[in-house]
Amino acid sequence: MDYVVIADAYERIEGTTKRLEMTDYLVDLLKNTPKEVISRVVYLTQGKLYPDFEGIEMGVAEKLAIKALTRASGSSESIIQKELQKSGDIGKTAEQQLAKRKQSTFFSKKLTVEHVYETLDKLAKTSGSGTVDLKMALLSGLLTDASPKEAKWLIRTVTGNLRLGIADMTVLDALAIAYGGGKETREKIERAYNISSDLGRVANVVADLGIEGIEKFQVMVFEPIRPMLAERLGAPEEILEKFGGKCIAEYKYDGERVQAHKTGNKVKLFSRRLENISNQYPDAVNLIREQLDAKEAIFEAECVAVDLETGDMRPFQELMHRRRKYGVEAAITQYPISLFSFDLLYVDGEDLTKQPLPQRRKRLQTIIKLNDRLKPATQKTVNNPRDLEDFFEEAIEEGCEGLICKSISKDSVYQAGNRGWLWIKYKRDYKSEMTDTVDLVVVGAFHGRGKRVGTYGALLLATYNPEDDTFETVTKCGTGFTDANLAKLYETLQRHIVPRKNSRVKSTLEADVWFEPYMVLEILGAEVTLSPIHMTAMDAIRKGSGLAIRFPRFTGNYRTDKSPQDATNSKEVLGMYNAQLKKIGETLF
């Protein structure tokens, strides 16, 4: 296929602002494209060589393009620079300069799409020493053979300035008209795209096999499925109403969405934007390799920063330290992660995207070999607003962002690439930030795991309530302790162990060890939240809920100067909650 066919189509597309006309021109181009090259033409019209998830970019800087143009046109670099400054468009500059070129086309060949694509492919894949020279030779070679018009589009393509405005959806429309049999087939073609994220493969199939081929289009491991997204509502009643009174509520983990693809030992992770992020999370890759009982699978999980000693989730900010190219190994130990899986889309040859959620979830549970680091998302079936609200508070307190409520009807398929009412997110529109530390009484402890075996993993902490002289639990804290702290705490607290919960302690949690109220520690938390578990200021804000401190951390300060009755009292925590209640702007959603 001659490259000029593409260049002409681009000229026409550039000349219109109307989407319908643009689609018509694209339809003409696709009809004039031989089937063997249709995928390449589709990628090129979007300024790409491969689908985005392959992560291959042409990466030609303007500077290099100017040099190649200098060589191909015979004009000096300074003239080209000057022209470029005037036009502000490197494509136009290339066109003008090549039009001025002395008649040297005697040796030039006609450019074909195949040749252009292969050359650009080489250009994109060169690396190592001599890269710049090689890229420059490849590009100037193409420009030498190009007509001025072709040069304009080539240069725009390689420098990432195509800007034709051909969106994925326009290509899908054009494919439906050109090969699907009409616009009405667009939905089916779009589904193929949503489960493959590869417009080239979709174009290939529809051009070759028509709509029947598209109907048989399959999910493939290592081709990311475009993510299903959630709508949002602000009240449990509204959510339940949408689902006809019953749904499952799942923790909405505060981490990074990961779509994992596995075949045998090979594992790839894709981000929410479908970029390959496997290199960022080698630990997650290993977990999946070891803990997934399936030859082939595609599943989705939230990757969350955790404290390995306590199993507690850590704030999203800690996960941000994992966004790096270098020093990954060190970051793995410093900021460990766990995966909480919430969907299974494909397993051993079977596409599950059309199955209802309860079935997908059942399958998911059968293939995960349970482990602290890879677990199915915590969920609960709810049918009344009270239970939903309680579960929501529990999720927040555990370190989650809220809940994702999901339909369990027979139509609860995985809607790839769509935001719909089958999933509804329920987040808070308020936040009570803590600016001050609190002094809390140690009333219980939980045995440690991992490095903390033999000491305490987390302490159960309480506020003091002077009204009835009780200690009301407010948080469980396992963070901020050094090894020396832990050893000292263990030794000191031994002397204060009591066989059962002290009658002055109010707790719904069952600690492994109980203490008489004695030791006071200084704690810094991220915020005060409502809690169905903790007892501080129970019922003060909402019936059946107390207050809790989220993401608590020991400051290192033992308040030996304070008796347990001098600890922060329940009313003060209530005051903090009320005083610091902040509306989160809409922008945060």
Taking the complex as a whole, the smallest distance from the CB of residue 403 to ligand ATP amounts, in Å, to 8
Contact with ligand ATP (CB under 6 A) among 202, 219, 230, 567: 230
Taking the complex as a whole, the smallest distance from the CB of residue 293 to ligand ATP amounts, in Å, to 21
Residues in contact with ligand ATP, counted by CB under 6 A, come to a total of 13
Distance CA 259, CA 343 (A): 9
What's phi and psi for 228, nearest 5 deg? -80, 140
Contact with ligand ATP (CB under 6 A) among 92, 115, 257, 553: 257
Q: Angle, nearest 10°, between helix axes 90-100 and 148-158?
A: 150
Identify the three-state secondary structure at position 73. Answer: helix
Structure-derived torsion over alpha carbons of residues 371, 372, 375, 378, reported in degrees to the nearest 10: 140
Among the listed residues 550, 520, 517, 518, the one whose alpha carbon sits nearest the alpha carbon of residue 533? 550
Contact with ligand ATP (CB under 6 A) among 404, 408, 422, 520: 404
Distance CA 578, CA 572 (A): 10
Q: Angle, nearest 10°, between helix axes 3-14 and 113-125?
A: 90
Q: Which is nearer to ligand ATP, 149 or 361 (CB)?
A: 361
User: And the tokens for 157?
Assistant: 């393509």
Q: Are 421 and 230 in contact (CB under 8 A)?
A: no
Taking the complex as a whole, the smallest distance from the CB of residue 452 to ligand ATP amounts, in Å, to 28
Stretch that binds ligand ATP, among 175-183, 248-256, 429-437, 474-482 (CB under 6 A): 248-256
Q: Which is nearer to ligand ATP, 140 or 415 (CB)?
A: 415
Site membership for ligand ATP, residue 229 (CB under 6 A)? yes
Q: Are 529 and 399 in contact (CB under 8 A)?
A: no
User: And the tokens for 570?
Assistant: 């329940």
Taking the complex as a whole, the smallest distance from the CB of residue 229 to ligand ATP amounts, in Å, to 4
Q: Which is nearer to ligand ATP, 161 or 418 (CB)?
A: 418
Look at strands 430-432 and 296-305 and give their pairing: unpaired
Q: Which is nearer to ligand ATP, 223 or 343 (CB)?
A: 343
Q: How many residues does the chain have?
A: 589
Distance CA 241, CA 436 (A): 40
Taking the complex as a whole, the smallest distance from the CB of residue 550 to ligand ATP amounts, in Å, to 17
What string marks each residue from 55 to 94 as x (binds ligand ATP by CB under 6 A) or -?
----------------------------------------
- In the chain, the largest separation of any two C-alpha atoms, in whole Å, equals 100
Q: Which is nearer to ligand ATP, 235 or 487 (CB)?
A: 235
Stretch that binds ligand ATP, among 161-169, 245-253, 285-293, 459-467 (CB under 6 A): 245-253
Q: Which is nearer to ligand ATP, 136 or 404 (CB)?
A: 404
Stretch that binds ligand ATP, among 246-254, 380-388, 445-453, 547-555 (CB under 6 A): 246-254
Distance CA 99, CA 152 (A): 11
Look at strands 505-506 and 470-477 and give their pairing: parallel
Q: Which is nearer to ligand ATP, 159 or 353 (CB)?
A: 353
Task: Please state, as a whole number, how many other Cβ atoms lie within 10 Å of the Cβ of residue 99.
Answer: 13
Residue with nearest beta carbon to ligand ATP: 257
User: And the tokens for 36?
Assistant: 């063997």
Which neighbouring-strand residues pair with 259? 270, 300
Q: Are 131 and 82 in contact (CB under 8 A)?
A: no
Look at strands 229-232 and 419-427 and give their pairing: parallel
Scan residues 521-580 and list those touching ligand ATP (CB under 6 A).
none
Q: Which is nearer to ligand ATP, 72 or 364 (CB)?
A: 364
Taking the complex as a whole, the smallest distance from the CB of residue 252 to ligand ATP amounts, in Å, to 4
Element (H, E) at 554: strand 553-558
Distance CA 473, CA 443 (A): 8
Q: Which is nearer to ligand ATP, 211 or 284 (CB)?
A: 284
Among the listed residues 428, 416, 427, 426, the one whose alpha carbon sits nearest the alpha carbon of residue 229? 416
Q: Which is nearer to ligand ATP, 468 or 586 (CB)?
A: 586
Site membership for ligand ATP, residue 377 (CB under 6 A)? yes
Scan residues 270-309 and list those touching ligand ATP (CB under 6 A).
272, 302
Contact with ligand ATP (CB under 6 A) among 43, 217, 253, 481: 253
Taking the complex as a whole, the smallest distance from the CB of residue 201 to ligand ATP amounts, in Å, to 24
What string marks each residue from 310 to 349 as x (binds ligand ATP by CB under 6 A) or -?
--------------------------------x-------
Stretch that binds ligand ATP, among 170-178, 216-224, 249-257, 322-330 (CB under 6 A): 249-257
Identify the three-state secondary structure at position 530. Answer: strand
Q: Are 530 and 545 in contact (CB under 8 A)?
A: yes
Taking the complex as a whole, the smallest distance from the CB of residue 346 to ligand ATP amounts, in Å, to 17
The answer for residues whose C-beta is within 8 angstroms of residue 407's C-beta and 6 or more apart is 243, 247, 357, 421, 422, 423
Using the CB atoms, write b or e for 62-72: b if 16+ within 10 Å: eebbbbbbbbb
Distance CA 159, CA 134 (A): 16
Stretch that binds ligand ATP, among 78-86, 108-116, 132-140, 247-255 (CB under 6 A): 247-255
Which residues are known to be catalytic?
Answer: 252
Q: Are 39 and 200 in contact (CB under 8 A)?
A: yes
Contact with ligand ATP (CB under 6 A) among 152, 252, 261, 506: 252
Scan residues 163-202 and list those touching ligand ATP (CB under 6 A).
none
Taking the complex as a whole, the smallest distance from the CB of residue 406 to ligand ATP amounts, in Å, to 7
Contact with ligand ATP (CB under 6 A) among 375, 380, 425, 562: 425
Stretch that binds ligand ATP, among 89-97, 205-213, 250-258, 514-522 (CB under 6 A): 250-258
Stretch that binds ligand ATP, among 251-259, 290-298, 532-540, 568-576 (CB under 6 A): 251-259
Which neighbouring-strand residues pair with 583? 430
Q: Which is nearer to ligand ATP, 72 or 357 (CB)?
A: 357
Scan residues 27-56 and list those touching ligand ATP (CB under 6 A).
none
Residue 59 region by backbone torsions, left for phi larger than 0, else alpha for psi between -120 and 50, else beta: left
Residues that bind ligand ATP (CB under 6 A): 229-230, 250-253, 257, 272, 302, 342, 377, 404, 425
